[in-house]
Amino acid sequence: MNAKSLRNILTIIAFNIFVLSTQVYAADTAWANDPTGKCYQSINKYMVETFGSNYDNDENLKIINATKRGDYKWVFDATPEINITRILFKVKKNSACVILYAPLSSTIKPNREIDKFDKKPQYFISINTPAPSFPTTKILYAKNRQGFFSPKNCYQIGKVDKKINCSDAFKD
């Protein structure tokens, strides 16, 4: 076995260990069907798996660069009749990993607090715009040591903001 073959085998093993370790994290979330921590060979593979092979014919399915370099990308379905679920991917040469899953997110923006090591946001704030007579929900997502974001604090916004359990945020 030559050095190049050994390096390829070690790369595959390291990738599989990464995927398995992130799957453990993904199980510990407030949202059902949360793919945070799941990796795909590419964003295209995710899109085909999630939306079907003709996803690129649907003008409502969006892939948008979150950074100028394109190493982070937002994916969402902008169909007007639905509340948008936004997914942030960290993109590398041979993988695209979900680092943030924000269901029912009309808007989402990074908080100004920047991680001093990777120069990326440590928090995102998501707000949904519900139908009349339903409360607005605000979610603060915090980055953990593995670089994944999960709900940290959840609020119902009204005359008085009320902190709620994140697992109850979208039950109605």
What does the pLDDT look like over 6-39, one tens digit per residue? 454 444 444 444 444 444 344 356 687 889 999 9
pLDDT on residue 35: 92
Domain assignment of residue 24, given as a range: 3-168
Going by C-beta distance under 8 Å and a sequence separation of 6 or more, which residues neighbour residue 45? 96
6, 12 in Cβ contact below 8 A? no
Overall number of domains in the chain:
1
Amino acid at 48: V
Which among 1, 11, 158, 9 has a CA at the least distance from the CA of 94? 11
pLDDT tops 50 at residue 117: yes
| Rounded Cα distance, 170 and 85, in Å | 12
What does the pLDDT look like over 52-80, one tens digit per residue? 999 999 999 999 999 888 899 999 988 87
Q: Looking at per-residue confidence, does 124 or 1 come out higher? A: 124
**Residue 121 tokens, joined:** 């946001």
Q: In the chain, where do the E strands start and end?
A: 39-40, 61-65, 72-77, 86-92, 95-102, 107-110, 123-127, 136-143, 149-157, 162-164
Going by C-beta distance under 8 Å and a sequence separation of 6 or more, which residues neighbour residue 158? 135, 136
The band of 47, judged by pLDDT with boundaries at 50, 70 and 90, is: very high
Work out the average pLDDT over 111-139.
Answer: 80
Query: What is the torsional sign of CA 81, 47, 73, 64?
Result: negative
Amino acid at 44: N
pLDDT on residue 19: 44
What does the pLDDT look like over 136-171, one tens digit per residue? 999 999 999 888 999 999 999 887 889 999 888 877
In Å, how far from its chain's centre is CA 14? 22
